[in-house]
Amino acid sequence: MSSQRTMAANTDRHALLMGGSGQIGEAAVARLLAAGWRISALSRQPRQSRPGLQWLAGELDNPGELPHQVDCIFSMGPLDAFARWYAASSIDCPRVIAFGSTSLETKQTSLDAHEGDLALRLHQAEASVFATASQRSAVATLLRPTLVYGSGRDQNISRIAAMARRSGFFILPSGASGLRQPVHVEDLAAAALAVFDCDAAGGKAYALPGAEALPYDQMVARTLRALAPSARLWRLPMPVFRLAVKVARASGRLQGLTDAAISRLGEDLVFDDSAARADFGYAPRGFVL
């Protein structure tokens, strides 16, 4: 375990939070307030401020008036937009903690042009954040979660659950057994706060998977069993499944399910969190719905 800063009273700590209304951001706001931080959080939609939390109207491309100085910037939104804002900003801040994605690794060789572009943008954004921080004598840490769940707002587990509730079943192709490590939003928020007090985390990027590596179909089956009432999992031969997806796309559904995503259902997407565990005590939970 790395040496930790001596924990002083947090009441004088001021955070600027980007993406505070998002799924990880909401969990981070609660934890920061509980730890005594003052928070200035950016939101596209008007929100009600409360003691310790000031909501600022704006977005990264047009943020409006922001604090001139804070103790830490936490970014829980799109990393490429944050990297552009950070490079152009003049804010005085010694510490930056920003979320990216393991898609930087999993999609960099994708044959899907949009996925390849996403991986490239994530890579460039990470490099930009580190470079900008270095130019300003600040310390940056990048966090790369994998399959996020727990808020009811994600596009993976929650989307599967919503579709199964409507129909009473969910369809997968045979062979959808690639390993996944779903990670809970609360564990990600806890990691962000732990990183702030970890000197060893400066200048590094960490993968943040969940504690369990589950075959994709087992992950889905567990999700369906947790529903009330539970839903059934149907498995189809891959050619039949691809035909069903083609028909669904033609009717305007499943637009986000690409051929590349279907191919990855049989691939293991597993990440090593040993550095995060060693440096700042990362301890994610198992897949608990």
Tell me: the pLDDT tens digits for 231-252? 999 999 999 999 988 888 887 7
For residues 30 and 21, the answer to whether their CB atoms sit within 8 Å is: no
Please report, for the chain, the start and end positions of each structural domain, with discontinuous segments joined by +.
14-280
pLDDT of 6 = 36
Closest CA to 40 of 74, 84, 8: 74
pLDDT of 5 = 41
pLDDT of 123 = 97
Looking at every residue in the chain, the average pLDDT score rounds to 92
Span of 186-200, 238-252, 266-280 with lowest mean pLDDT: 238-252
Mean pLDDT, residues 221-226: 97
> Residue 4 above 70 pLDDT?
no
> Residue 134 above 80 pLDDT?
yes
Confidence class for position 85, pLDDT limits 50, 70, 90: very high
Token pair belonging to 177: 């057994």
pLDDT of 64 = 85
> Residue 12 above 90 pLDDT?
no
pLDDT of 252 = 72
Percent of the chain with pLDDT over 90: 81
SS3 54: strand
Percent of the chain with pLDDT over 70: 95
For residues 182 and 140, the answer to whether their CB atoms sit within 8 Å is: no
Task: Please list the helix, strand and coil fractions of the chain in percent, rounded to the nearest 5, in that order.
Answer: 40, 20, 40
Looking at the structure, give the CATH architecture of the domain made up of residues 14-280: 3-Layer(aba) Sandwich (3.40)
> Residue 206 above 60 pLDDT?
yes
Confidence class for position 170, pLDDT limits 50, 70, 90: very high
> Residue 208 above 60 pLDDT?
yes
